[in-house]
Amino acid sequence: MSKRVVITGLGVAAPNGVGIAEFSHAIKNGLSGIQHDSELEKLQFSCQIAGTPPISEELKSHYFTELELRGFNSTGILYGVIAGMEAWKNAGLPIENKEEPDWDSGTIFGSGTSGIDKFRESIYKIDELQVRRLGSSVVAQTMNSGVSAFLGGKLGLGNQVTTNSSACATGTEAIILAYDRIQSGQAKRILAGSTSDSGPYIWAGFDALRVCSSKYNNDPQQGSRPMSASASGFVPGSGAGALVIEDLETALQRKATIYAEILGGSVNSGGQRGSGSMTAPNSTAVQRCITDAIRNSGIASADINAINGHLTATTKDSLEIENWIKALNRKGADFPYINSIKSMTGHCLSAAGSIESVASVLQLHEGFIFGNTNCEDLHPEITALIDPVKVPLKTIDLQPEIIAKASFGFGDVNACIILRNFVK
């Protein structure tokens, strides 16, 4: 018999808030974490603004030992460990140094890359014939599964410990993978999430593709403009989001706070066929992903109150709205509320889905729909499809019952989850 699956812990390291309290305050009040980046300017990037979580040396010391920090140079692992361990503590779970692993708990924590700066640092040492001076932590910091390995060790996890990677769909996919494992009874709880390295060596390729915003270098907080007529591309960002996903029976037994229930989800690909390519979505696949997620969740499309979209502030935003309309068979005033947190964080790449899922869960748990900043000039292609009221500019007090969260990534990959306000 399949189990009900709930979310009992949240953690985040986002450009506009490190920690759930700070992040919740930021998204409710439209506070942006996007700033001018002097390094990008020095390197002559077209886009010279970015969203990077503000992490102090003191905060690092709360999560890493002095030995671990010696020679440490992996922002993705840093963000992932901070978000993951916050989620674990937020779930009321102990961090104990027992000899026996926790066989019932695991982590599926996604990443696009790991330790890109550490990797670059190592290459220089190799080129200078200093292989023996690389240090003992290079492998752990640069392997793609580094973030899950660090979390697995710090929490003593004995169930599945792995890292998935599906471009911008990574975080949402990790949650679905965790849901599947728990629903089938293979684990009692999974720490699910994703992280992304920050810096020019991650963002340069996107700048070269000319998909990043370059018109707002002197006004950073105006730069990320999902669904806006004056959008000029996405603003690169980074960070991590984490959720403790647990079977309902176990959560109730330990009297855990339940933030939301996961009803179901879907993962698919357009195969880079038809309208799909490495960089463009196959609309048929996007629509199938959404409709499959709804069917797997046992609800009707009319039950969805709000959508947290992918919506990156590129020319594909209106196409995404069109795909939602076709998948839900809802348009105009009948369309659900829709928002994108990227206006406040930038596009956090492999971390986007998990950070945005945390935001979606907060909306369910705390009863609000956050506003779309920088969207006063809603794109006319979007106003022709849905009622502008459904794209709120400011946070509104509303208790959504069901939110659909979707992410779409390079390689024509898609992931969609359906979240519900928990009802016993």
Which CATH number fits the domain that encloses residue 399?
A: 3.40.47.10
Mean pLDDT over 227-232 rounds to 97
In the predicted structure, residue 125 carries a pLDDT above the cut 80? no
pLDDT of residue 155: 97
pLDDT of residue 121: 76
For the stretch 133-190, pLDDT in tens is 666 678 887 889 999 999 999 999 999 999 999 999 999 999 999 999 999 999 999 9
Q: In angstroms, rounded to a whole number, what is the distance separating the alpha carbons of residues 81 and 242?
A: 9
Tally of domains within the chain: 1
For the stretch 336-356, pLDDT in tens is 999 999 999 999 999 999 999
pLDDT of residue 133: 63
Range 140-152 burial, b when 16+ CB lie within 10 A, else e: bbbebbbbbbbbb
Q: Determine contact, residues 311/356, Cβ cutoff 8 Å.
A: no
| Model confidence band, residue 130 (pLDDT cutoffs 50, 70, 90) | low
247: left (phi over 0), alpha (psi -120 to 50) or beta: beta
Question: Tokens 């009803």 map to which residue?
Answer: 263
Question: Tokens 């949650």 map to which residue?
Answer: 175
Q: Which residues contact residue 295 at a Cβ distance below 8 angstroms, ignoring those fewer than 6 apart?
A: none
| Model confidence band, residue 14 (pLDDT cutoffs 50, 70, 90) | very high
Angle between helices 146-155 and 75-90 (to 10 degrees): 40
Q: Determine contact, residues 102/225, Cβ cutoff 8 Å.
A: no
pLDDT of residue 136: 67
Contacts by residues 52-56 (CB-CB < 8 Å, ≥ 24 positions apart)? 52/15, 52/198, 52/237, 52/238, 52/239, 53/13, 53/14, 53/15, 53/18, 53/79, 53/198, 53/238, 53/239, 53/240, 54/15, 54/18, 55/13, 55/18, 55/79, 55/82
Residue (of 293, 291, 297, 276) closest to 409 by Cα position: 276
Residue (of 150, 338, 76) closest to 227 by Cα position: 338
pLDDT of residue 139: 80
Residue (of 198, 97, 75) closest to 141 by Cα position: 75
Provide the sign of the torsion angle of the four alpha carbons 203, 243, 267, 346, taken in this order.
negative
Q: Determine contact, residues 170/111, Cβ cutoff 8 Å.
A: yes
Question: Tokens 């969207």 map to which residue?
Answer: 375
H or E segment and range at residue 340: none
How high is the mean pLDDT of the chain?
Answer: 95
Beta strands 306-308 and 337-339, pairing class: parallel
Cβ atoms within 10 A of the Cβ of 226, count? Answer: 27
State whether residue 249 is helix, strand or coil: helix
End-to-end CA distance of the chain: 18
Mean pLDDT over 107-125 rounds to 81
Domain assignment of residue 190, given as a range: 1-424
Q: In angstroms, rounded to a whole number, what is the distance separating the alpha carbons of residues 193 and 16?
A: 18
Q: In angstroms, rounded to a whole number, what is the distance separating the alpha carbons of residues 166 and 243?
A: 18
Stated pTM of the model = 0.96
